[in-house]
Amino acid sequence: MRSRLFLILAAAAAVSAPAQVRYAPDTHAVTIGGKPFTIFHYGDDANKPFLAPVRSASGKIVTRGFPMENIPGESRDHLHHRGLWFSYDDVNGVKFWENDPSYTKPNIGKIVVQESHWKGGGATGTLSATMHWNDPKGQTLLIENRDMVFYDQPELRTIDFHITLTAAVPVTLGDTKEGAFAIRLAEPFTERKGARIVNAEGLVSMKNVWGKRSKWVDYQATVDGEPLGVAIFDHPSNPRYPTYWHARDYGLFALDPFGRAAFDPTQEESQWKLAKGDKISFLWRVAIHPGNAPVADLYKAFAAR
């Protein structure tokens, strides 16, 4: 009964709510129902764009503050883990994942936002952006067109990511675990702080979820006394569905449709080749939900689209 009621309320709110999803073009801030939700950072100082901080419907921040800000008690590892982002570490050998500007590794690339615009502002709003994935010499390897759809719902905070990559030159996406669609969660979502990681098959903990293929994965934790979850959904229309998961117990939460042998050594190494002009498209959803939300039902509603 709880599952059905939750879905009915969420669907009704998304259809009938007054104008609630807003975007401030000067600060790139998204608000829902008059409350701050997230900010779209172009990432000029990070070599990639990202969303941060990201909040629950109750206003709890679910992303790590570092390295954008230093918060007592937070970890200080992985400078390239910034909020919610999409990148990959082997595009013609160029690194777009481990690519913080402070790193001295060779072949570091940069994802540059060319333009963005906002549409809507009622029960939903869409932030669209075009990015160039440039190698160290400035040559564009991939053109990314992204739509981020934000929903006004009473108990949820949901973002759909429609992403299309177009090869600007012949491109090979190599086989690595370092990618791709990811969020670095706040400290309560680490297993050492009691968080629970579970996938669609009911497997629990990093030990059993990492490197497995699944339709969705959910991180569950208590944040300032409130049970919350952060789920990522892989749509059935996506290439290589269901995806592999680079889900770590220290708060990194990522899916990776490009790696294969990196997760399962029994599989053939992946060399995903795109001729100039070729396109690949993905649809992913991030759902920040109350701890007792029916995640499997939320996924079914998403997959049925």
Q: Where are the domains of the chain?
A: 2-303
Residue at 130: amino acid letter: T
Model confidence pLDDT, tens digit, residues 157-191: 999 999 999 999 999 999 999 999 999 999 999 99
86 closest CA partner among 295, 268, 286: 286
* Phi, psi values for residue 187, rounded to 5°: -55, -35
Q: Given a cut of 50, is residue 200 above it in pLDDT?
A: yes
Q: Token digits for 127? A: 């932030």
How far apart, in whole angstroms, are the C-alpha atoms of residue 201 and residue 279?
A: 31
Position 121 scores a pLDDT of 82
Position 16 scores a pLDDT of 44
N- to C-terminal Cα distance for the chain? Answer: 23
How far apart, in whole angstroms, are the C-alpha atoms of residue 179 and residue 168?
A: 20
CATH of 2-303, one of 2.70.98, 2.40.50, 1.10.10, 3.10.450: 2.70.98
Contact 83, 50 (CB under 8 A): yes
How far apart, in whole angstroms, are the C-alpha atoms of residue 268 and residue 104?
A: 31
Provide mean pLDDT across the span 251-258: 98
Give percent of the chain above pLDDT 90.
92
Q: Given a cut of 80, is residue 19 above it in pLDDT?
A: no
